[in-house]
Structure 1
């Protein structure tokens, strides 16, 4: 997910394909895993040889908190609700011009860009905060998925590499092809992986949050077109690289699950049939084939039809958010069946309490009925936060207000009882399926 204020429509220019050379040689995954490490067995996850089914939680804001009491309270609430896996950002990067403000507001940051290479911050306002979140998660027996960077600009994603290393006038997809950028990305990945490679608290490494040909600040370029395999080539190289650093932890793409079908789905809009961006390869992913890469251990997919199809989501339309979501779940379950690997519905959300109350029970139950469900709604909402008196502007429009964690419209809180109960019920079902 990306901040709403940074959202752009999915409009792409035409490109011509190029290939990415120099992919690393694949390193094999360890077959004898240390105790406490999550593994896979066909379509299922396992923990110490027993089934590991779960409901998880997304919280990008957890490492941004400055109060240990609030971090403990949040992870304890997750534990009590039945959450077994937390997904959070392993990046928080700023421009050099933001440094003074970050120091004044106590903003968490891991990288500072003020030249052609970032400066790492592994101090108490930097990676030590991620250390603390992972250590606290361990305390509450919660596994953590860590994403290395962001496709979107929020909190300093991939476009900072492009802007500082190559300058203006670039397309977003050079992040996936430029050798200097890839080397810089890998240097940061090595820092994170080396820091936690021996920790059983890490569930998996995630190459990028929602990789696409374009971003919200830069367009796609000629090296990223349907069939060019730009993202798959990058997924292959980076997953092989991470495996060379860490033979034990799982690796995934972090993608939204876009397809590249020979005959993509179409929908009727403005008196014509429109080729569906989520199925025609324009995003850059090819979920069916990306999932087959040797060091991609499981697939991820996200689900936001309300914003993806805003032109179709209106009263009286024959198109519905609920039905499209069920179809999307089925398509990814079918792809996972063919690949023989697990998949996670890693992010999903709708805006409006009534929408959540009506739609989430249907989506979650449908996923549970597949028997291979792993469910991680976007996003966890925590009440009763105390730092700065319960009111703190973090960055952008993200703020703690009256003790409530940042609310992007998709956030759900414990006082929204009907929505909350959907996930606590699902967590009990998943717990019963686990060893």
Structure 2
């Protein structure tokens, strides 16, 4: 992207923020989204793209304003440390846009993430909610939530999930750093006793159709994704994965990869990555491995061994036809004396990502 084009898009962002702050809901300018989803994978600025990036869930933490989610991050340093056009997935939850002292909406934390990413020409996946309520209202989302409670305001919240999605899309849809919208991380429509209802797949599909459709109506440019784990969870097990993934409101499918260190294509023939890749091809949609987690630290292997395992995994997944990979998870304060998923600023995994991020 040329400097002139980037400057023009920054002006669009600033104009869009002013319009939102004054209560305007109509779109006045719609830039072409930098990231597009195709049957063959993702593209960035019109070129085939295989992002190898990071989950950095705590980026919007600002302890002076919001409830926070993990440690504060020096955003300029973080984005400056990434390869060009890297992809970062972060929490953009409603509770991270609430002033913890006044209870009023305050977008300071999330706005800062977008501004820093824009300044460094990086791209983002904002995750709009989490299944377990972590770093938010701490309310586990049951089948009742998917059946309609998402339209009501939870205790301690300012907006319903429905209204938060609308607010977020209107506020950040014109950012040149927006890659795609993620409706919810790791959805699973369980009953209150944590058992699976037979209607789970239909509940989840109806939810995705409606919420994704509302996002599409506000932003017809950017792809939409859903944070499915892909390991046989309630609502997305077996063929249900393709049933939910077939929603016209979804453009990018996901898989989350844990517990199979060094194995490129984990899982069984019903819910493994290989079968989900086949399902994605059948739907003509790319599949992003949006979380890859391997522990390192005292008692569970060195960061060097982890880097070699993850390198093998990424190479195998790319060869198999995935659309990219994001590692779990960057933290500014890694704990080497413990066994964790922490990926710090100097972790050798950072070099693995630099060598693999880029065009297909």
Q: Normalised by the size of structure 1, how large is the TM-score?
A: 0.62
Aligned residue among 322, 325, 335 for 2:263: 322
Structure 1 residues 377-388: aligned runs within 5 Å: 377-382=327-332
Q: CA deviation at 1:370?
A: 2.5
**What is the CA–CA distance in structure 1 between the aligned matches of 2:150 and 2:134, rounded to whole Å?**
22
Match of residue 411 from structure 1 = 342
Q: 1:46 to 1:228 in 2, by over 3 A?
A: closer
What's the CA shift string for 1:223-251, capped at 9, x where partnerless?
x3266521111111111111112111111
Alignment CA distance shift 1:177-1:339 (3 Å)? same
Once the two structures are TM-superposed, the CA of residue 186 in structure 1 deviates from its matched residue by 1.1
Aligned residue in 2 for 1:212:
188
Distance 2:201 2:355 in 1: 43
Aligned pairs for 1:336-375 within 5 A: 336-352=280-296, 353-354=301-302, 356-357=306-307, 359-375=309-325
- Structure 2 partner of 1:78: 82
Structure with greater Cα Rg: 1
d(CA) in 2 for partners of 1:119, 1:187: 16
| Alignment partner, residue 212 of structure 2 | 239
What does residue 224 of structure 2 align with? Answer: 251
Deviation of 1:280 (Å): 7.6
Contact preservation (8 Å) 2:32, 2:221 = no
Cα 1:180/1:39, change in 2 over 3 Å: closer
Q: 1:176 aligns with which of 111, 126, 146?
A: 146
How many aligned residue pairs are there? 309
State the 1:144 CA deviation. Answer: 0.9
Where does residue 106 of structure 1 map in the other structure? none
Deviation for aligned residue 1:141: 1.0
Alignment counterpart, residue 334 of structure 1, candidates 258, 262, 278: 278
Find the counterpart in structure 1 of residue 23 from structure 2.
Answer: none
State the 1:209 CA deviation: 0.8
Root mean square deviation, CA, Å: 3.5
Counterpart contact for 1:253–1:300, Cα < 8 Å? yes
8 Å CA contact 1:150, 1:210 repeated in 2: yes
The answer to whether the Cα contact below 8 Å between 1:88 and 1:147 also exists between their aligned partners in 2 is yes
TM-score (norm 2): 0.74
Does 1:153 pair with 2:133? yes
| Alignment partners' CA distance in 2, 1:199 and 1:131 | 10
Alignment partner of 1:133 is 2:87: no
1:192, CA displacement in angstroms? 0.6
- For the 8 Å contact 1:230–1:284, the answer to whether it is kept is no
Change (3 A) 1:178 1:221: farther
Out of 254, 258, 265, the position equivalent to 1:304 is 258
Q: Structure 1: how far apart are the matches of 2:55 and 2:85?
A: 10
| Correspondence for 1:194 among 151, 163, 170 | 170
